[in-house]
Amino acid sequence: MRPNDLPLYELSAMLSSGELSSEHLTMCCLETADRTDDSVGAFLTLCRDDALRSAREADRLISSGKGMALTGIPFAIKDNICTEGIRTTCASKLLSGYIPPYSATAVRSLENVCAVMLGKTNMDEFGMGSSCENSAFRPVQNPIAPGRVPGGSSGGSAAAVASGMACFALGSDTGGSVRQPAAFCSVVGLKPTYGRVSRYGLVPFASSMDTIGPITRDVRSNAIVFEAISGHDPMDMTSSSEAAETVSGSLDNSDIRGLRIAIPDMGATGTGLSECVEKAVLDAASVFESLGAKCVETVLPFDIRTLAAYYAISAAEASSNLARFDGIRYGSDAPQNGELDVRQFRSLGFGTEVQRRIILGTYVLSSGYGRDLYSKSLSRREYVRSAFRAAFSEYDLILSPVTPDPPPPLGRFKASPSEMYYQDVFTVPANLAGLPAISVPAGRDSSSGLPVGIQLTAPHFAESLLYRAAYLFEKEISDGKSRK
């Protein structure tokens, strides 16, 4: 087995003991990218020389006894998270040459412990999409299900981890963009509580819902990265002052006996549900009950009305946030015939999906019918928040699908954008309410062999509970496989 296929907590122990060097591990990741990324398309920028320099510095730090859990571990960053001196394109032609003068707080947190940044990963342009086919540069292929989408918009990050090109990655999640690709690529993805991880340096899509989250091969590794990037940041006015948690070290003592877990009525979404996805959730419920939890079906706001409210609000915020990209301050100049033509610049710079959402958002914010739609969407958001408050007064966790379907073939979402939007029905409620949620692999469909994930959602700032339950589930199904 290649070292870059191991969980990062095992790699950390091997680095600490001297069994493995960060330089060798980094070379393994880069060689894997050289062999496979032409077909996968996970990276937009690879920083080979910088990564190897950082790896050698990490080895020196470890040999002096000053290494930490992530010291020397190679990782990737979604290309809408700013990196000082390294281009950050948001997978858009409009920002193809943009180089930020600063790094995001989450990136600095990883640099401070001398983790090794490999490069920037591909994504749906400005985070708008659920397939990673809306990149201005190239689509991303699912590395474990060739010919299928990897999910989006953090599909490049998930594909890099799933294929061994990176030991972990950062993504962003506005309506499911960490959790959905994690499910499609059979890795673990966390959307933290809103405000738990700083948004400073994250190029905004919908500011009231954007979050940065880790993508890893397993639950314990995910908790280690979460611990490193979470915490209060005075540079982000939405950053929470809630005390940071240490989770990873206590996972082996996890116990969920007596927990009450709610399951939504999966037939009430209004979008349809694949049989294999429903089976995965019901099988997961059986696993949790075997561990001493009690699973109960109840009414929850996973439905098409919540989905519609999300798209109205997120498009409105995107329309406002993307107004800054006018050809004056960012991006390459469009042909201007001697004058700056903002409309021409934006029509040439933005892709089809981004234009679609800007137009929708502009309509939602317009006077008359549009404003009425926005007001109704905000009311629905308040309903979602109150529904979750009521649910968590009675239940400890919510178990649901991540998406209604396993990963579809490449091209399907391009031909049917509405089908792409329907895939978000189980993920957007957590963003509207600001709740933490985690996607965990639940095996593969027995007939198609496609990966399926489950989602756990918890009350605000209850990431430790999420990790404990997810860890026990992961361990149980892994033990089950080893017994077969």
140/131 Cα distance (integer angstroms)? 8
Catalytic residues: 78, 153, 177
**Rounded-to-integer distance, Cα 121 and Cα 114, Å:** 20
Specify the DSSP element, H or E, that contains 376.
Answer: helix 369-392
Residues in the chain: 484
What does each C-alpha distance from 52 to 12, 46, 76 come to in angstroms?
A: 17, 11, 14
Other beta carbons less than 10 A from residue 1's beta carbon = 6
| Integer Cα distance of 409 and 149 in angstroms | 6
- With H, G, I as helix, E, B as strand and everything else as coil, classify residue 117: strand
What dihedral do alpha carbons 81, 162, 430, 472 form, nearest 10°?
Answer: -130
> Could you tell me if 11 and 217 are in contact, meaning their C-beta atoms sit under 8 angstroms apart?
no
For β-strands 74-78 and 116-121, DSSP reports them as parallel
126 Cβ contact partners less than 8 Å away, ≥ 6 residues apart: 80, 90, 91, 92, 203, 205, 318, 322, 354
Distance separating alpha carbons of residues 429 and 436, to the nearest angstrom: 10
- DSSP annotation of 164 reads T
What are the DSSP E strand ranges found in 164-248? 168-173, 188-191, 211-216
Buried b (16+ CB within 10 A) or exposed e, 144-175: bbeebbbbbbbbbbbbbbbbbbbbbbbbbbbb
- Nearest C-alpha neighbor of 297 from the set 278, 277, 274: 278
Are residues 448 and 406 in contact, defined by beta-carbon separation less than 8 angstroms? yes
Report the C-alpha dihedral over residues 324, 329, 331, 336, rounded to 10 degrees: 100
Q: Which amino acid is at 96?
A: S
Residue 20 CB partners (closer than 8 Å, separation 6+): 3, 11, 14
Residues 218/474, Cβ–Cβ less than 8 Å? yes
